[in-house]
Chain A
Amino acid sequence: MKRFSGLNLLAQAFDGHRGWPEHWPDKAPKAAYDVIIIGAGGHGLGAAYYLATKYGISNVAVIEKGWLGGGNAGRNTTIIRSNYLYDESAHLYDHAVKLWDGLSQELNYNVMYSKRGVLMLAHNVHDVQSFKRHIHANRLNGVDNEWLTPDQCKAYCPPLDIAANARHPVLGGALQRRGGTARHDSVAWGYARGAVARGVDIIQNCAVTGIRRGPDGAVLGVETERGFIGATKIGVSAAGSTSLVMKMAGLDFPLESYPLQALVSEPVKPIFPCVVMSNTVHAYISQSDKGELVIGAGTDQYVSYSQRGALHIIEHTLAAICEIFPIFTRMRMLRTWGGIVDVTPDRSPILAKTPVPGLYVNCGWGTGGFKATPGAADLLAHTIAHDAPHAINAPFNLDRFRNGRLIDEAAAAAVAH
């Protein structure tokens, strides 16, 4: 890996930038690895990176049925925050936010983490009470979150309409200043480049078709479109396809996969200084560094693997955006797309060992997995390396659906999050 630095950039400039090596050369799979990660999104590539850097396990393959970062890593709205209600969730997501800090330096790759603040709008009395409860719970957990009056919201985000007779009146907002956005592709690329530099193989366009297990039930490796690849430890980080992979190992999972849509507008000059989320009317919006308004819509109501959603979901979101930000009523939308998100019954992830020896899983991030990328990757690597969960991800096990110790962020937020 040739490091990016001012000096290297200058040196390469004299040679027309032809001297940069490939970030992740195409590799034919070896017969066996110490660890196989299924899914080359940010979570999976990051897990391979941390296995190599923190635990010295670099004989690792990341296997991907499509292309690197082409699933939900490339389909999200890049929002980062950690203002979750329950202690377990606050610790989990804040672990990720702490890793976002300094990630560009660690990877020597600009992930463009921008702490522009995430403002969650309250439109009714229930929102006000719920958000204030979140703020107090967050402060007890050392997570920054503060209450803004409507005027303070307007000062923080000038395009906002706070008129008392608005269709969706703004009664205040909860602001997490450390929250913000990052460049989603860069996260996958940066982890991939860092992992490959330490000996990890990334094998794209190679769908896993089966998981081979020995007489004792432990994993022996994966069957793929390019033949059998051996490994005694397999980490699954396959988002919407996780339950399909788990069925290959004989496990039924408490997951359902839904389409989640997002869209971007034509690019305009800087107008929108932060991230605004309105759970009640279901509108999430920020502005990318390219100038596009990045808008998150809701999930479709039915299980699907189609990677596209219905137009009325987008219409609903844009109707809310136009009411809250009348300035945007004449913006034109350029692109819409959908990703398939795996949703658990309590809307909290599963990051754990499975009943199959040697099989580990990182799934169930639902509609909010991007923000957790570095944290989930780090904790999956820890769980695989130690064959035991870290204290932070120990509560996010599979047993909770049997013993009832749910981490019910679904009830806490009352909406998808």
Chain B
Amino acid sequence: MKIQLNARNRAYQFAAAGGERILYAGLASGINLPYECGSGTCGTCKARLVSGDIDDLWPAAPGRKYLKHPGEFLMCQSEARGDCSLEVANFVYNMDPGACLPAAGRGILRSPRLLTDDVIAFSIELAAPREFDAGQFMVMQVPGVPGYRGYSMANFERGAKKLDFVVKKKPGGGASEWLFNGNIEGREVDLFGPLGSATFFPALAKNILCIAGGSGIAGIMSILERACQEHYFDQYSGDVFFGVRTMKDAFYLDELSRYRNKFPQKLQITVALSDEEVPAAAAQRYPALAFDKGLVHEVAARHMKGKYQNVRAYLAGPPPAVDAAIRVLLLEAKLTADNIRYDKFS
């Protein structure tokens, strides 16, 4: 099926196979269509149907609340029934030549393990190596639960043959319940990606500030992995703030300690506990890490005061935590908007 896309600056044509979502088809063709979550919640990929017929795969998608005019739909939740012509009210450009082109694929779920009572880690084994940028995510569809959910990769390597993920249990969330309830080792899942623009490249040449809540630490781990591989923290500083409720909810502390110990001069990692005083045992067990009491954006704001020169910030986690961090970074830190990177999943 041929899709004609009219953007504010020019027109594009791309092909979509039967059963292929319009957003994914366009992105796989190297066209940087507007999107954020890729999974029906954010509304950023809205378009207007000019001609042709589409199927709406998720009429109850939360992102539909951003549709205001007749003919509007979410490209991530729609399939074309035949040739279609659509319009997006954005300037649209082709992806950079070096961009990791997103593609559909399948993978096998390996070594699921609980990191805390409600956080699970697992890997996806890929048939063919994949390239992705540090900080990107994949959308994943698990057996028997229709629809894709976005999860950030926690690892980073060139030509990755496996992708690492961490997922927080979400009662009532179909994909999350499947991951927590089943015997999932060896099961096959559908993937599309890599996606997302909260990416880190060493050529950035700025100090980096990472603020993550809960399983949002995944994308930050990928960024830290790449930065450490490149010895980025020999030259630039890194400040990482990882927010959880209590020590029982914390994970990756050994991995974070390892990063800190490699670059003790310029890399600082602080764990923020929102719901308990910092136990004395925490600092003894993890001497490489700092601990503080408070919501993660408050702790970050306290520690970062006066240290916002030449800073690029990466944010990840539950939407209220990301919003609160944005508020601090724009209003107090006076960072420019292009130096605040995040991918919102709602």
* A complexed with B: no
Question: Which residues of B pack against A, CB within 8 Å?
Answer: none
